[in-house]
C-alpha cells in the first residue's frame, strides 16, 4: 500500500513507541494487539486468520522494528503492505507456532507489551492513549474513508426496494464497501421500526415495507468511520418523523457541545438534558451515544461519567437514537469545533438552528 507520507508516519510512531517503552525503563516492546499493530504500521491490513495465536505481532527496540509472523504470511504482508517501511522480519514456521518465537524474545529480557505476557510490563493504556490522536496524514485518510462510507450507505438506501430483506440490504452495502477496498466492520439494518424494540440490531430476514435505518462502520488504511442514513418508501409515518427530528436535534446539541478542552461528561450531559426536556430522558440509557474512533472502532466510549477531556485531532462518532430512529456521523475535532467526515452527498438535509451554530443533519430520504 504505497501512500505518500506513510513512511514518515511509521517513523514518527516508532519514535513514540520507543519513548513510551524507555520511559517505563524497558529495552523493547512486544505488540500483540491488532489495533496497535495497525497504528504502528500506519494501516497494515491484518490478515484474516482463524486462530488468533497465529496472528502477526511487532517487536520494537529503540532504533529497530520487526514484524513477527508465520512463514505462511511473510511474503504477502511485505509485498502488499510493508515493503520500504523499514521493517525487518522474524518468522516462525507454521507448525511450530507463534508462542515459541514470542517466548524466545521475551525470556530474560526487560520488555514492555500491550498485553500481560510472560512478565512483560503492560503498557496497554499508554498505547491506547497514543493512538487516539489523529495525525494530519490520518485525517486525510479519514476524510477519504468517511465520504466513501457515506456514499455507499446512501447508494444502498436509494436502491433498496420494498420486499428486500435486511440481509439483502446489508449484502448490497457490503458489496459497495468491499469493491472500494473498505472492510465492513459493522452493518446494522433495521426496517419498519425494529430499532424501537432492539437498539443494536443484526440483519434478519425481515422484509422492508415502509422504512429503513442503516448504520455502518467501515475500515480502510487502519482507520474507521461510521455513518447512518434513513429511507422511507413513501412519506414517513408521523411517529417515526417525530422521533427522527428529535434525534437530529440531539445530534446538533451533542456536536455543538463537543469542544476541545471540554470534558466528555459535560458534553454528553448537555445532550441527555436536552432529551430529558423533550420527554425522552431515558433514551441515552438504551444504546451508546458516542465514542472516540480511530485505529480501533471504539477507542473510548462516551458516558455521563467519562472523565476524559476532549482533545484536538480526536475522531468522534455521535450516534443518538430516539425510538425507531437513529442518526450517526463521524467528526474530527478541530480548534473551532467538529468537522463532519461523513457528509451527505446527494441527500436531503435538515437544517438545525441552534443558539451558537447552524448544523445540517442528513434527513429521511422519502422515495416513491
Contact 196, 159 (CB under 8 A): no
Decide: helix, strand or coil at residue 274: helix
Q: What pLDDT does 317 receive?
A: 98
Looking at the chain, the number of H-run helices and the number of E-run strands are 10, 19
What is the rounded average pLDDT for all residues in the chain?
Answer: 95
Residue 315: band (very low, low, confident or very high) from pLDDT cuts 50, 70, 90: very high
Look up the pTM and report it: 0.95
* Cα distance between residue 46 and residue 44, in whole Å: 6
Residue 353: band (very low, low, confident or very high) from pLDDT cuts 50, 70, 90: confident
Contact 176, 216 (CB under 8 A): no
Q: What pLDDT does 202 receive?
A: 87
Which grid cell sits at 242?
417525530
The pLDDT > 70 percentage for the chain reads 100
Around 226, how many Cα atoms within 13 Å sit in the side-chain half-sphere?
Answer: 25
Taking only the tens place, the pLDDT of each residue in 45-98 is: 888 888 988 999 999 999 999 999 999 999 999 999 999 999 999 999 999 999
Contact 123, 24 (CB under 8 A): yes
Residue 268 confidence (pLDDT) above 90: yes
* Cα distance between residue 225 and residue 343, in whole Å: 11
Contact 226, 217 (CB under 8 A): yes
Domains and CATH numbers, the chain: 6-130 (3.40.350.10), 136-367 (3.90.230.10)
Average pLDDT, integer, range 212-221 = 97
- State whether the Cα torsion 163-166-172-176 is positive or negative: positive
Element (H, E) at 339: strand 337-340
Q: What pLDDT does 356 receive?
A: 78
- State whether the Cα torsion 269-274-277-282 is positive or negative: negative
Average pLDDT, integer, range 351-356 = 86
Residue 261 confidence (pLDDT) above 60: yes
Residue 107: band (very low, low, confident or very high) from pLDDT cuts 50, 70, 90: confident
Taking only the tens place, the pLDDT of each residue in 179-214 is: 999 999 999 999 999 999 999 998 999 999 999 999
Q: What pLDDT does 1 receive?
A: 52
> Whose CA is closest to 145, among 185, 92, 94, 93?
185
Choose the weakest-confidence range: 27-31, 147-151, 350-354: 350-354
Average pLDDT, integer, range 274-287 = 93
* Cα distance between residue 197 and residue 184, in whole Å: 24
Amino acid at each position: 500500500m504505497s501512500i505518500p507520507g506513510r513512511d514518515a508516519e511509521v517513523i514518527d510512531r516508532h519514535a513514540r513507541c520507543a519513548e513510551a517503552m524507555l520511559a517505563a525503563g524497558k529495552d523493547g516492546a512486544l505488540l500483540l494487539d491488532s489495533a496497535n499493530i495497525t497504528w504502528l504500521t500506519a494501516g497494515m491490513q491484518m490478515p484474516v486468520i482463524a486462530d488468533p495465536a497465529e496472528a502477526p505481532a511487532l517487536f520494537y527496540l529503540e532504533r529497530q522494528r520487526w514484524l513477527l509472523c508465520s512463514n505462511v504470511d511473510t511474503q504477502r504482508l511485505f509485498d502488499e503492505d510493508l515493503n520500504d517501511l523499514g521493517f525487518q522480519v522474524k518468522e516462525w514456521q507454521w507448525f511450530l507456532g507463534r508462542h515459541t518465537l514470542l517466548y524466545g524474545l521475551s525470556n530474560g529480557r526487560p520488555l514492555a507489551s500491550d498485553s500481560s505476557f510472560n512478565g512483560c510490563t503492560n503498557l496497554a493504556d499508554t498505547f491506547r492513549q497514543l493512538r487516539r490522536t489523529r495525525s494530519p496524514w490520518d485525517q486525510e485518510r479519514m476524510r477519504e474513508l468517511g465520504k466513501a462510507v457515506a456514499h455507499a450507505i446512501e447508494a444502498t438506501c436509494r436502491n433498496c426496494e420494498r420486499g428486500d430483506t435486511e440481509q439483502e440490504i446489508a449484502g448490497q452495502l457490503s458489496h459497495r464497501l468491499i469493491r472500494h477496498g473498505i472492510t465492513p466492520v459493522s452493518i446494522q439494518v433495521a426496517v419498519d421500526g425494529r430499532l424501537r424494540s432492539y437498539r443494536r440490531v443484526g440483519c434478519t430476514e425481515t422484509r422492508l415495507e415502509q422504512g429503513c435505518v442503516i448504520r455502518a462502520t467501515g475500515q480502510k488504511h487502519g482507520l474507521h468511520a461510521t455513518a447512518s442514513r434513513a429511507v422511507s418508501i413513501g412519506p414517513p409515518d408521523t411517529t417515526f418523523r417525530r422521533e427522527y427530528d428529535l434525534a437530529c436535534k440531539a445530534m446538533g446539541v451533542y456536536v455543538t457541545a463537543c469542544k476541545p478542552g471540554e470534558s466528555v461528561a459535560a458534553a454528553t450531559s448537555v445532550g441527555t438534558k436536552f432529551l430529558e426536556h423533550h420527554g425522552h430522558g431515558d433514551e441515552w440509557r438504551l444504546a451508546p451515544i458516542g465514542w472516540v474512533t480511530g485505529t480501533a472502532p471504539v477507542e473510548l466510549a462516551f458516558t455521563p461519567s467519562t472523565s476524559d477531556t476532549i482533545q484536538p485531532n480526536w475522531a468522534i462518532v455521535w450516534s443518538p437514537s430516539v425510538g425507531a430512529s437513529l442518526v450517526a456521523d463521524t467528526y474530527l475535532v478541530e480548534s473551532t469545533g467538529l468537522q463532519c467526515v461523513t457528509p451527505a452527498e446527494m441527500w436531503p438535509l435538515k437544517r438545525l438552528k441552534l443558539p451558537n451554530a447552524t448544523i445540517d443533519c442528513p434527513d429521511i430520504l422519502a422515495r416513491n
